Structure 1
């Protein structure tokens, strides 16, 4: 089969013929129909982002495909079924604290690297092998829509944050960093889950305007200007009610002050979920006032990715019409133009825009 292979950081991906994967017990082989190209994929492939991958590797986190072959212990999946390929691979020998691999993207711990040694390659290939539980059934979908269904990979990240926060219908929430792909998706997911109002923050005025006009009066856009206290005042003023939840999903280039500006706007007994990349590129940590957290009963929680059942639940939101995929604009590239897709994703990122690879 054909696959895009990363042989060395800083080198272009090469298209090569590699052995077909074989499904063993607890595994499934899927024909990859579409997979998304992350906006920062080029930074992973050139080594700028210190993501742990053992080279050579076929990269690619998740996607949409059809089941080609099943291991002997499969009981419900069927050959030919459409599935979402969930890249979040969890070790099976620790239910309470499993090691986690993002297949085709990063293995951030020693245990994850052991998973990476077996589930080594990702979805930038005609076929890929994943754990049985990572092939999430989607039901019937039109072949022409498979690229747009790749939006599940973007939507799932903030969905995991809202699940961690215990978001309730009617609540007032903040998405801190709403102008990127994951942040804007967080706005859409919060509305689909019944949030009464979403305060969307960001520094890009045009992108903020775009997010605000897409969803109407339930979204209040607040441009962040760099003064922590003043930015917080604008967030509080924009909210029609006390802020119940803050979801921070800022990128690594943001500062701790940008996080605090929104975090400290939450009401007493409020919840904060941290999902962004602040601090990953170095610099100071997030300093929070101990007395304020304690006296106001604030819950501050970190959340990486999402629970194992999230993909099926999110797909149900899409099926119901509460979370339409139509807003996503997609640009598609065949496998042999993978390096063009990497460059395109970097320069054409933003709310509801995806670069799709079609192996």
Structure 2
């Protein structure tokens, strides 16, 4: 079988032949059909991000859609031939306060996660890929949806986990900061699927926000940020109909905290702010305002297994339509072109490398 391999950060990717793996105890072997690419894949491969890499050589790639080729001993709920989604967020299933955790095919998360990275060091950019059964999610009931479209589940899983952590309830108003970004745009659609009565999409590019308003069917309002804090708060609160119940911050690599604080100040009394972005500067919290307004500040990393199952159920029921995402698919052999495309994608765009319906990469 063939696999894309990275010897070390900064080295070129290479498509190589290798032996077909066999699933170990508690693991499954997948024949990959579609793999979405993160927008920062190129920077990651070049070693420009402060990530803890798996020992090389390894296959990168996080999320993906595949079919089970073989099931290891100790796996009871999956079957050969079943189509599944790969969830790269692997946490050690141990009765300790802070279990080790990694993102398979990407990076270690906790301080002692190096052994986990070494145990399952390969990600999804392989013809045959082995994963712990606990990271696999069944996709029964979605047979009519092409795998390249289902690959967009990885775009929704992160914000979906944050919205559920923020206890979004049907009928509430949600503000999404970073709505023009890769995950922020998906957060807008996920909030609608979870029953939000109104979603305010915040961003700096009106053109990127326009499709969200169109897809919202009257429930999405956009606010183009000006950088004037007081003016932006007024605009957000007006779009929210007087204030929001939940603010969701998915801003990427921000060098100032103005937009995040504007989202906070758009909240009604007893509102909640969920932080899931990657801001590069400290966030100065207005202590007195937090107290007087009973605001809750929630930091959230990724999602739970229950979140992913709920996400799949919403898609299967038709409550969350993936066709709002513009998927650009490349053959596996054209990975380099796909990485370049992923780096320029905006908003609801998603870049996928696909082997759907094929048995060989050659």
User: Which TM-score band (shorter chain)?
Assistant: over 0.9
Alignment-derived partner of residue 358 in structure 2? none
Spell out the pairing of 1:191-340 with structure 2 (5 A cutoff).
191-279=192-280, 284-340=281-337
CA–CA distance in structure 2, aligned partners of residues 67 and 98 of structure 1: 27
Alignment partner of 1:358 is 2:359 = no
Work out the number of aligned pairs and report it. 354
* Cα contact 2:176–2:201 (8 A) shared by 1: yes
CA–CA distance in structure 2, aligned partners of residues 293 and 97 of structure 1: 28
The superposition leaves residues 147-188 of structure 1 with CA deviations (integer Å, 9 ceiling, x where unpaired) of 000111111111101110100000011001100121110000
Alignment-derived partner of residue 7 in structure 1? 7
State TM-score, norm by structure 1. 0.95
CA–CA distance in structure 2, aligned partners of residues 96 and 179 of structure 1: 36
* Cα contact 2:142–2:316 (8 A) shared by 1: no
Alignment-derived partner of residue 122 in structure 1? 123
CA–CA distance in structure 1, aligned partners of residues 340 and 128 of structure 2: 23
CA–CA distance in structure 1, aligned partners of residues 200 and 142 of structure 2: 33
> Displacement, 1:301?
0.6
* Cα contact 1:82–1:140 (8 A) shared by 2: no
> Which stretch of structure 1 is more off in the superposition, 121-130 or 2-11?
2-11
Q: Secondary structure at the match of 2:31?
A: strand
CA–CA distance in structure 2, aligned partners of residues 255 and 216 of structure 1: 32
* Cα contact 2:4–2:125 (8 A) shared by 1: yes
CA–CA distance in structure 2, aligned partners of residues 177 and 199 of structure 1: 11
Alignment-derived partner of residue 87 in structure 2? 86
- Kindly tell me: are residues 108 and 255 of structure 1, through their superposed partners in 2, closer, same or farther at Cα, counting changes over 3 Å? same
CA–CA distance in structure 2, aligned partners of residues 242 and 62 of structure 1: 35
The superposition leaves residues 221-276 of structure 1 with CA deviations (integer Å, 9 ceiling, x where unpaired) of 00011112221111111111431000000001352122111112211111110000
The superposition leaves residues 120-146 of structure 1 with CA deviations (integer Å, 9 ceiling, x where unpaired) of 010000011111121111015448710
Spell out the pairing of 1:38-49 with structure 2 (5 A cutoff).
38-49=38-49
Alignment-derived partner of residue 360 in structure 2? none
State the superposition RMSD in angstroms.
1.5
* Cα contact 2:170–2:194 (8 A) shared by 1: yes
CA–CA distance in structure 2, aligned partners of residues 46 and 272 of structure 1: 34
* Cα contact 1:121–1:128 (8 A) shared by 2: yes
Alignment-derived partner of residue 65 in structure 1? 66
* Cα contact 2:342–2:351 (8 A) shared by 1: yes
> Which stretch of structure 1 is more off in the superposition, 222-231 or 46-55?
46-55
CA–CA distance in structure 1, aligned partners of residues 354 and 209 of structure 2: 30
* Cα contact 1:99–1:112 (8 A) shared by 2: yes
CA–CA distance in structure 2, aligned partners of residues 143 and 199 of structure 1: 32
5+ long unaligned stretches in structure 2: 356-362
CA–CA distance in structure 2, aligned partners of residues 230 and 95 of structure 1: 47
